[in-house]
């Protein structure tokens, strides 16, 4: 069987080289070219069946049953045929990483051409308008390069977690090539990625309504877009197939591997510049897009509630970002009160509660969520005091905050677990559970821990031992939430 495998590798190498050559030869006269690519015929790649949901102890049948109205395989009128490789030795590949590298090459080419045009303008002396136009395009290209680097790094983290879980060929994960079929028979094919371009397919981001709907679904599943449209995941082709991790690297339960050693540092004041550079709300275009989408279906009722609170309180209260699971969330992360970067009027302010806000509180919480393997689409965040926390807090102010939390919970009926971040969150939750509306929190498991604010670990006020204890507690409590959500075992 060695000869067919060699031919297949040679064919794949030729295809990859052809794609790269095509990119290099293509003129890049417009660095502002659009996000979408013309869809080309899809190449079929053999995939392998799995009999469990990656990262859980659930069977496919159990997972489909647990999915409620979001997944209803029985209603799917047509499902994709997923075949196993004919050879016992699988072919390892990473199309997604190749596409990241191709996109980086194209942006580098655009950068070089724009620098040459800027040099020409400087030599000409009287082309100020052209110089400014090229300078603006160069800034846009550099911003895309920065976003591409961040996306590539996160993809590698996600890919390695998936490789630790086992085969995921027929599940929609990072890099998957997905074909969906609408009820009217219309079909769309796209790749799920944070890249803006692809040499073969349309791109759909993880946080888009379509991306949120199909993530972690399987060929044959019926899903619903927030706008109400129903569609069937008709086929799934993997964007990568990696060899399993070595025995010593693999967690026996199949849960996402912990980030240990020097893999990633917890964001602190000491590495704030690096941590904040990775927060997407540093990008005004990203912030503007979030704000524009604040009434998307998954967060509409929550943010309309925010509007009512704003009117009643006559103060600014941040919206909930549409990147969260919103009304379908299963995990609530309860924080203290709005931070400066939730204020739209502040520098880099988003006007939102968002994990991508340009502050260390958001960066730290995002770190612990990713470490635990908790998907953003499974959570929603809220503040114990939705408005700026008064000083001092009184029994009356706490009661008003608890009533606001009660009304928020009425909008999020799927919440199973709440992480109580900090003293204020614990106090308001306790008041709601003990006196005001115990029925509103019935059945919700509460996990108390520290706040993710950098103030909780100020090295000028806290010892290194205390800071280490805070981080270990946060890590353990977020991991506990993941076990409750996904059925992980120790």
* Separation between Cα atoms, residue 234 and residue 488, nearest integer Å: 29
* Separation between Cα atoms, residue 149 and residue 157, nearest integer Å: 13
DSSP 218: B
Q: Containing H/E element for 235?
A: strand 230-237
| 285 has pLDDT over 70 | yes
Q: Per-residue pLDDT tens for 416-427?
A: 999 999 999 999
Position 125 confidence tier, pLDDT thresholds 50, 70, 90: low
Q: How far is CA 278 from CA 145, 282, 359, 433, in A?
A: 13, 8, 10, 37
* Separation between Cα atoms, residue 324 and residue 380, nearest integer Å: 5
- Quick one: which of 76, 56, 375 has its CA closest to 223? 76
Q: Per-residue pLDDT tens for 320-340?
A: 999 999 999 999 999 999 999
Q: Containing H/E element for 418?
A: strand 417-421
| 37 has pLDDT over 60 | no
Task: Answer for the pair 255, 58: CB distance below 8 angstroms, yes or no.
Answer: no
Q: Per-residue pLDDT tens for 366-386?
A: 999 988 988 888 899 999 999
Structure-model confidence comparison of residues 86 and 471, the more confident one:
471
pLDDT at position 352? 96
Structure token pair of residue 68:
């409620």
| 282 has pLDDT over 80 | yes
- Quick one: which of 72, 53, 83 has its CA closest to 232? 72
What average pLDDT does the segment 272-291 reach?
90
| Three-state secondary structure call for residue 259 | coil
Position 302 confidence tier, pLDDT thresholds 50, 70, 90: very high
Q: How far is CA 260 from CA 125, 163, 264, 372, 435, in A?
A: 55, 17, 8, 12, 41
End-to-end CA distance of the chain: 41
Position 140 confidence tier, pLDDT thresholds 50, 70, 90: confident
DSSP code string of 69-112: GG--GGG-S-----PPPSSSSPPPEEHHHHHHHHHHHHHHHHHH
What average pLDDT does the segment 219-245 reach?
85
């Amino acid at each position: 069987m060695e000869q067919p495998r060699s031919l297949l590798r040679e064919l794949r190498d030729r295809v990859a080289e052809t794609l790269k050559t095509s990119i290099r030869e293509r003129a890049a006269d417009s660095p502002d070219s659009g996000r979408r690519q013309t869809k080309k015929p899809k190449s079929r790649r053999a995939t392998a069946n799995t009999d469990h949901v990656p990262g859980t102890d659930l069977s496919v049948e159990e997972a489909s049953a647990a999915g409620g109205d979001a997944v209803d395989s029985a209603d799917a009128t047509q499902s994709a045929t997923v075949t196993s490789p004919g050879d016992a030795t699988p072919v390892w590949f990473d199309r997604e990483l190749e596409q990241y590298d191709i996109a980086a090459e194209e942006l580098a080419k655009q950068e070089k051409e724009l620098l040459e045009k800027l040099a020409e303008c400087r030599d000409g002396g009287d082309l100020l308008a052209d110089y400014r136009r090229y300078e603006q395009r160069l800034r846009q290209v550099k911003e895309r390069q920065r976003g591409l680097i961040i996306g590539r790094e996160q993809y590698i983290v996600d890919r390695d977690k998936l490789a630790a879980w086992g085969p995921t060929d027929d599940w929609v994960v990072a890099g998957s090539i997905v074909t969906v079929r609408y009820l009217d028979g219309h079909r769309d094919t796209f790749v799920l990625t944070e890249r803006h371009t692809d040499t073969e397919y349309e791109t759909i981001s993880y946080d888009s309504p379509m991306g949120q709907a199909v993530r972690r679904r399987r060929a044959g599943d019926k899903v619903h877009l927030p706008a109400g449209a129903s569609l069937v995941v008709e086929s799934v082709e993997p964007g990568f197939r990696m060899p399993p991790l070595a025995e010593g690297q693999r967690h026996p339960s199949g849960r996402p591997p912990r980030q240990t050693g020097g893999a990633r540092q917890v964001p602190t004041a000491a590495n704030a510049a690096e941590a904040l550079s990775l927060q997407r709300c540093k990008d005004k275009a990203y912030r503007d897009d979030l704000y524009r989408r604040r009434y998307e279906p998954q967060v509409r009722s929550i943010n309309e509630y925010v509007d009512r609170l704003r009117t009643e309180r006559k103060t600014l209260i941040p919206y909930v970002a549409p990147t969260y699971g919103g009304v379908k969330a299963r995990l609530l992360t309860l924080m203290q009160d709005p931070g400066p970067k939730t204020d739209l009027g502040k520098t880099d302010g988003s006007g939102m509660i968002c994990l991508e806000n340009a502050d260390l509180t958001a960066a730290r919480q995002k770190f612990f969520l990713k470490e635990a393997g908790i998907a953003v689409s499974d959570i929603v965040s809220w503040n114990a005091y939705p408005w700026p926390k008064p000083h001092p807090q009184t029994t009356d102010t706490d009661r008003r905050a608890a009533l606001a939390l009660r009304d928020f919970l009425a909008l999020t009926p799927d919440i199973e677990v709440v992480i109580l971040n900090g003293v204020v969150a614990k106090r308001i939750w306790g008041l709601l559970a003990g006196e005001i509306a115990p029925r509103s929190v019935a059945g919700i498991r509460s996990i108390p821990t520290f706040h993710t604010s950098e103030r909780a670990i100020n090295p000028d006020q806290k010892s290194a031992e205390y800071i280490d204890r805070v981080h270990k507690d946060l890590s353990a409590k977020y991991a506990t939430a993941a076990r409750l959500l996904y059925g992980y075992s120790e």
